[in-house]
Structure 1
């Protein structure tokens, strides 16, 4: 019975927490290439937090529908993910002084977010893509002390 309870707890935990390896330099200096981060799935992000978001297929968007909130780890692993910082969420003012692709609104629309890499010269983010749908956010990166 203990093994069965452990298995159930492990399954629940892997649906809530995911370990992700950072690829690339778009979040330097905060995160380096090959850093390991722990992601809390489906936690509502706040501005300033770092999230893992599903990468679109270039500027065309996504080929597949969003993952269900409780998708199993193999389904999560089959998608391509990016790590970005949340700058604005639905209802927030669109940041001025930034050139965001395909954005003419004064406020971030419902269900959307402005996401940026910390290293603008090496980041594919809202400057090139525009808004990212919140349903494409896997979760919030757990940082030490939080």
Structure 2
């Protein structure tokens, strides 16, 4: 192989790694809201996307304690400083756009998700309302225990 061929191959590998690294990330579960499925300290591989389906487990920006999950422009108007969330939650998609919210007659609005915790004691859309899709960081594609 020529020097040019080596450089092209190395460049392709570097670009491939860069693209994969930007699409995937790992998170560590902290808290009890998704037990027993995702206990504390479990690691999860997350694919960055705002698209999710029913029963997908997603990583989502934590809601504001007072205003819940609002559209960005509403939150900016209601808060003093519009910073991106430093906290992320892991939740399961229970309903998507146009579907009926569980135990309700209301429908999930366009571009939103209704999220639930696996642990009934966890906070989720029952308290904070539907989640705008842009608040979703990604979907869990694999999870493992730190013991593995």
Calculate the TM-score normalised by the size of structure 1.
0.75
Aligned-pair RMSD on alpha carbons?
A: 2.5
Kindly indicate whether residue 139 of structure 2 is the aligned counterpart of residue 132 of structure 1. no
Q: Which runs of 5+ in 2 are unaligned?
A: 1-6, 74-84, 144-148
CA distance in 1, matches of 2:21, 2:53: 23
Work out the number of aligned pairs and report it: 125
CA distance in 2, matches of 1:52, 1:92: 21
CA distance in 2, matches of 1:39, 1:65: 23
Deviation at 1:61, TM superposition (A): 4.3
CA distance in 1, matches of 2:70, 2:99: 28
Bigger Rg over Cα: 2
Deviation at 1:14, TM superposition (A): 1.5
Q: Which runs of 5+ in 1 are unaligned?
A: 67-77, 98-104
Q: 1:69-105: per-residue Cα shift (whole Å, max 9, x none)?
A: xxxxxxxxx73211000000000012116xxxxxxx6
Kindly indicate whether residue 24 of structure 2 is the aligned counterpart of residue 17 of structure 1. yes
Calculate the TM-score normalised by the size of structure 2.
0.74
